[in-house]
């Protein structure tokens, strides 16, 4: 059974540019969450999608956005990149059960974004 | 200004010893907890989870203990091996409308010496 796949693994972008990251969840999983990991702030929640709908959002500026497709694959976009956006971006997939029902979340390898 | 990196707690053990990694959580509404292991250059790897209606759960070589009274979670690793060296994170979810949102602890660096 394939795990969570994130592409690309590494990216180098220039300030002001925009970037799109992709996440393919484990087959059968309908929930995809995104996280930013930095040495200074640790792992921070960005947003979560389920059945193409954003159900939850963290405290990040509007430059960070995402979407989910009908096959549960998800993309996140960061516009007008800043140096501080350099981080490891991780996505996690889970079944995404009924309201209030938590299920195991499995992470991909992440995309290492460097903004110069 | 310059950001200050997190100063992660560290735990250093000898191969074969038992390891205990602790985590304090702040949200009394949290009802689901997960332990993850993260090796350098990799994403967090699921180890074990526990729901708030339990106080102990065992897996292969690992045990998670939950004390809701003091909001404390611990991960016990039996017969620790060099391959267990990694950063360990606890994560919590508050249930309800907190879909897919895990709040992570700062992490603990575990180093296992052969």
Query: Given this model, what pLDDT does residue B95 score?
Result: 76
Selected residue with higher pLDDT from A66 and B97: A66
Within a 10 A sphere around the Cβ of B37, how many other Cβ atoms? 22
Query: Given this model, what pLDDT does residue B99 score?
Result: 78
Residues 6+ apart with CB under 8 A from A61: none
**Tokens encoding A43:** 């792992």
Strand partners, B32: B51, B93
Chain A CB within 8 Å of residue B52 CB? no
**Contact criterion met (CB below 8 Å) for A28 and A95:** yes
Question: Which residue is listed with tokens 């010893």?
Answer: B17
- pLDDT mean over B97-107: 88
Q: Which residues of A touch B31 (CB under 8 A)?
A: 102
**Tokens encoding B24:** 């304090």
Distance CA(A75)–CA(A9), nearest Å, equals 14
Three-state SS at B10: strand
Cβ within 8 Å, pair A100-B3: no
- Residue A96 C-alpha, separation from nearest chain B C-alpha, in angstroms: 7
Query: Given this model, what pLDDT does residue A34 score?
Result: 97
- pLDDT mean over B64-90: 96
Average pLDDT taken over every residue of chain B: 91
Chain A CB within 8 Å of residue B98 CB? yes
Query: Which of A32, A43, A45 lies at the smallest CB-CB distance from B89?
Result: A43
SS3 track for chain A: CCCCEEECCEEEECCCCCEEEEEECCCCCCEEEEEEEECCCEEEEEEEEECCEEEEECCCCCCEEEEECCCCCEEEEECCCCHHHCEEEEEEEECCCCCCCCCCCEECCCEEEEEC
Query: Given this model, what pLDDT does residue B100 score?
Result: 84
- Phi first, then psi, for residue B83 (nearest 5°) are -70, -10
Distance CA(A87)–CA(B10), nearest Å, equals 23
Within a 10 A sphere around the Cβ of A64, how many other Cβ atoms? 18
Query: Given this model, what pLDDT does residue B1 score?
Result: 39
Q: Which residues of A touch B104 (CB under 8 A)?
A: 35, 42-44
Query: Which of B43, B97, B99 lies at the smallest CB-CB distance from A109?
Result: B43
Instruction: Name the residue in chain B with its Cα closest to that of A49.
Output: B100
Query: Given this model, what pLDDT does residue A1 score?
Result: 61
Q: Which residues of B touch A100 (CB under 8 A)?
A: 95-96
Query: Given this model, what pLDDT does residue B98 score?
Result: 79
Query: Given this model, what pLDDT does residue A97 score?
Result: 65
pLDDT tens digits in sequence order for chain A, 116 residues long: 679 999 999 999 999 999 999 999 999 999 999 999 999 899 999 999 999 999 999 999 999 999 999 999 999 999 999 999 999 999 999 987 655 466 788 999 999 999 99
Within a 10 A sphere around the Cβ of A103, how many other Cβ atoms? 16
Longest dimension (CA), chain A: 42
Chain A CB within 8 Å of residue B3 CB? yes
Cβ within 8 Å, pair A94-B96: no
**Contact criterion met (CB below 8 Å) for B105 and B90:** yes
pLDDT tens figures, B2-52: 444 567 899 999 999 999 999 999 888 898 999 999 999 899 999 999 999
């Amino acid at each position: 059974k394939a795990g969570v796949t994130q592409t690309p693994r590494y990216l180098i972008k220039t300030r002001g540019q925009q970037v799109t990251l992709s996440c393919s969840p484990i087959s059968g999983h309908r929930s995809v969450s995104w996280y930013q990991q930095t040495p200074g702030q640790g792992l921070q929640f960005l947003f979560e999608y389920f059945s193409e709908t954003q159900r939850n959002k963290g405290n990040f500026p509007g430059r960070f956005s995402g979407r989910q497709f009908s096959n549960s694959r998800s993309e996140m976009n960061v516009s007008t990149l800043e140096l501080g956006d350099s981080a490891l971006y991780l996505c996690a997939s889970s079944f995404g059960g009924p309201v209030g029902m938590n299920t195991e979340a499995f992470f991909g390898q992440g995309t290492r974004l460097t903004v110069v | 200004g310059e950001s200050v990196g997190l100063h992660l707690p560290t735990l250093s053990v000898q191969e074969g010893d038992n390891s205990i990694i602790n985590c304090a959580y702040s949200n009394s509404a949290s009802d689901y907890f997960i332990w993850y292991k993260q090796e350098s250059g990799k994403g967090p790897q699921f180890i074990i989870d526990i729901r708030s209606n339990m106080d102990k759960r065992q897996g292969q070589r690992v045990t998670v203990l939950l004390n809701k009274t003091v909001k404390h979670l611990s991960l016990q690793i039996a017969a620790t091996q060099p391959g267990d060296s990694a950063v360990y994170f606890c994560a919590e979810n508050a249930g309800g409308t907190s879909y897919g949102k895990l709040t992570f602890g700062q992490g603990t660096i575990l180093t296992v010496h052969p």
